[in-house]
Amino acid sequence: RKEVEQDPGPFNVPEGATVAFNCTYSNSASQSFFWYRQDCRKEPKLLMSVYSSGNEDGRFTAQLNRASQYISLLIRDSKLSDSATYLCVVRHYNQGGKLIFGQGTELSVKP
Amino acid sequence: GAGVSQSPSNKVTEKGKDVELRCDPISGHTALYWYRQRLGQGLEFLIYFQGNSAPDKSGLPSDRFSAERTGESVSTLTIQRTQQEDSAVYLCASSLGPDQPQHFGDGTRLSIL
């Protein structure tokens, strides 16, 4: 079993839809949590960090449930430009900062 | 440029050959990471450098893989006697420190024939 697991996808949604990505992690030593975005044949880019209290950045809302070891990302009013692969990422405390990635969920927003 | 630079962008080579991949981190970034991304998969951690030393090599898949860093700057990832399963995008990232945001290069797309 992979340490970070995501919905397999792909998700195909119309513009304006709300879409939710789910992620679970198995190692309770995980300390920091992130969502990265990766466009086709490009490098991953940090979308947002995820905090225990939940956090929002415009149309994007991230939540963390440490008890359930569950992370989510909600995109409201999706745009064509949101089409990408979304990667759930964790980092362990005091392990040099290496990032552990989920396999990613592909999102395709259609007109 | 100010970002992480990797070269070559693409490399096609025959099975059994050795390859060297290069990473130029952002100036002043002491932490440097190599990751591998196979087709349709997430990134896999390979190795972490703090300065010129590598405290975590746990992700290197076999002894055919090695990496070094010099001058607290450029890093080279070497794959000896390449195999077809080594085909992947190899990504380098750097950060100001181990718990700081990592900035990724564009990667080297390696294809083993």
Checking if the pLDDT of A101 tops 90, the result is yes
Question: How far, in Å, CA of A31 to CA of A11, rounded?
Answer: 28
What is the mean predicted confidence (pLDDT) over B52-67?
94
DSSP assigned state of B102: P
**Cβ–Cβ of B45/A43 closer than 8 Å?**
no
E strands, B1-113, in order = 5-7, 10-13, 19-24, 31-37, 43-50, 53-56, 65-69, 75-79, 88-95, 103-104, 108-112
- Chain A positions touching chain B (beta carbons under 8 Å): 4, 32, 42-46, 87, 91, 95-104
Checking if the pLDDT of B100 tops 90, the result is no
**Which residues lie closer than 8 Å to A78 by C-beta, 6 or more apart?**
A13, A15, A16, A17, A18, A19, A59, A107, A109
- Per-residue pLDDT reduced to its tens digit, B85-94: 999 999 999 9
For residue B41, the model assigns a pLDDT of 85
Q: What is the dihedral of CA B54, B57, B59, B62, to 10 degrees?
A: 130
Mean pLDDT, rounded, of chain A: 93
Question: How far, in Å, CA of A52 to CA of A32, rounded?
Answer: 10
- Per-residue pLDDT reduced to its tens digit, A11-59: 999 999 999 999 999 988 778 999 999 999 899 999 999 988 889 999 9
Checking if the pLDDT of B81 tops 60, the result is yes
Mean pLDDT, rounded, of chain B: 94
Contact B11, B89 (CB under 8 A): no
For residue B1, the model assigns a pLDDT of 54
Question: How far, in Å, CA of A46 to CA of A101, rounded?
Answer: 12
Checking if the pLDDT of B6 tops 90, the result is yes
Question: How far, in Å, CA of B88 to CA of B91, rounded?
Answer: 9
Confidence of residue B98 (pLDDT cuts 50, 70, 90): confident
Identity of the residue in B31, B59, B104 whose CB atom sits nearest the CB atom of A97: B31
**B48 chain-A contacts, CB cut-off 8 A:** 96-98
Question: How far, in Å, CA of A15 to CA of A92, rounded?
Answer: 36
Checking if the pLDDT of A104 tops 70, the result is yes
For residue B40, the model assigns a pLDDT of 82
- Per-residue pLDDT reduced to its tens digit, B23-44: 999 999 999 999 999 988 889 9
DSSP assigned state of B27: T
Nearest-Cα distance to chain B for A71, in Å, is 17
- Nearest CA to B89 out of B10, B18, B3, B4 is that of B10
Identity of the residue in A42, A46, A101 whose CB atom sits nearest the CB atom of B42: A101
Question: How far, in Å, CA of B38 to CA of B43, rounded?
Answer: 8
For residue A16, the model assigns a pLDDT of 98
Contact B110, B59 (CB under 8 A): no
* pLDDT above 90 coverage of chain B, percent: 88
The answer to whether B94 faces chain A, any CB pair under 8 Å, is no
What is the mean predicted confidence (pLDDT) over A78-91?
96
Nearest-Cα distance to chain B for A67, in Å, is 23
For residue A102, the model assigns a pLDDT of 95
What is the mean predicted confidence (pLDDT) over B46-60?
94
**A45 chain-B contacts, CB cut-off 8 A:** 104
**B93 chain-A contacts, CB cut-off 8 A:** 99
